Amino acid sequence: MKKIATGNKAVAEAVKQAKPDVVAAYPITPQTEIVETLADYITSGQLSSQYIPVESEHSAMAACIGASISGGRTFTATSSQGLAYMHEMTNWAAGARLPIVMTNVNRSLAPGWNIWVEHTDAMQERDTGWLQVYVSTVQEAYDTTLMAFRIAEHTDVLLPVMINLDGFTLSHIMQPLDTVELGNFIPPINLPNAVDPNNPGGYGTLTGPADYIRFRWEIERSMRDAFPVIKKTHEDFFKSFGRRYGFTEEYQCDDADVIVIALGTLGKEAEVAVDILRKEGIKAGSMRLRWFRPFPKLDLAGKDVVVIDRDYSFGFGGVVAHSIRAKNQMEVFSVIAGLGGQEVTYDDIAVFVRNRHIGEEFWFGVNNHV
């Protein structure tokens, strides 16, 4: 069915079709529309789920953990300060191998107080054991949410998945949405270690050094095993519904001399910059990074690389830029741009590419020599 929807509404529509047993909800700008819409679906009878309105984001994740331990399919959503408040529980969810699906509508962290888009909130969760995927359109938000349930609940994965949407620039923008008849694309949930009252067990008990390192390794093993699961899910989604996805979305990269890498809506904006640069004779391409955890192998050999980070790790640098440096053993031109919702246009991105040989970290709007 074709309609017009916001990114938030698209997520809620996909969650409704996935039929979670439990939705735990606490409002925070700019994700509130997601849990409000799900509440409407439940009260109107369109979705048969247990809706738990909790007193905080920490409790929202705790409720999802409890429901998931009992074998239920679970969903929640948050942003920014709410995700930071969840941090203890996000570690717990991954460590307990619980396939919780959560949408994080990316928003900057205070102070100063700011409700606009930035990726630092999700980047602070990158080492917890959650799979992370970043989307750039309303349609992709819907499709990726459907795939997230299947990926998280696969027995080779059994890890939580965080779907990241840019606050306001995607969460509240209106774009076309083509919904699908889901069929059996998402199998019934069947968690192998769900709590059974007839066979009592425990989660999160005291663990000594000899076993603790093994549990950590199991998270890493599952991250590695997630690669083929994600790939197969992408392939099956294309066969079922005709829309193709990958670990990256590449535009004009085949013959490119320089590639722009970014997450979310900036990755889409870069495609317009590429068209501008091509008309100038600069062979540019765009590689929008969709999956950040697990981090994919990127084919960048022999290319100049411009990385735009909508995040920062203080005293270290742009997280995406340093990830690419470490994984690919190469230098990149690191641009820090878009923090706190700072406007970054395709013309700005074209300037970044033209000045890529500066060879240093560049803060857009702070440095003045680009």
Q: What is the pLDDT of residue 368?
A: 59
Say yes or no: 258 and 279 in one domain: yes
Give bridge partners of residue 175 from the DSSP assignment. 5
Question: Within a 10 A sphere around the Cβ of 195, how many other Cβ atoms?
Answer: 15
Q: How many domains does the chain have?
A: 2
Q: Cα–Cα distance between 221 and 229 in angstroms, integer? A: 13
Q: Cα–Cα distance between 219 and 159 in angstroms, integer? A: 8
Say yes or no: 286 and 189 in one domain: no
Q: Where does the chain show beta strands of DSSP type E? A: 2-6, 22-25, 50-53, 74-78, 101-106, 131-134, 161-166, 174-178, 248-251, 258-262, 284-289, 291-293, 304-309, 333-336, 362-363
- Mean pLDDT on 286-299: 97
- Give the end of a domain, one of 222, 241, 260: 241
- Looking at the domain assignment, is residue 369 inside a domain? no
CA-based R_g, the chain, Å: 20
Taken in order 86, 87, 88, 89, is the CA torsion positive or negative? positive
Query: Locate tokens 């500066």: which residue?
Result: 358
Say yes or no: 343 and 230 in one domain: no
Q: What confidence tens digit (pLDDT) does each residue in 29-40 have?
A: 999 999 999 999
What band does 203 get if pLDDT is binned at 50, 70 and 90? confident
Above 70 in pLDDT, residue 214? yes
Structure token pair of residue 31 = 């994700």
- Give the end of a domain, one of 201, 224, 241: 241
Say yes or no: 113 and 55 in one domain: yes
Share of the chain above pLDDT 90, in %: 95
- Looking at the domain assignment, is residue 125 inside a domain? yes
Q: Cα–Cα distance between 288 and 267 in angstroms, integer? A: 5
Residue range(s) defining the domain that contains residue 256: 248-363
- Mean pLDDT on 165-193: 97
- Give the end of a domain, one of 241, 274, 297: 241
Q: What confidence tens digit (pLDDT) does each residue in 79-136 have?
A: 999 999 999 999 999 999 999 999 999 999 999 999 999 999 999 999 999 999 999 9
Give bridge partners of residue 251 from the DSSP assignment. 286
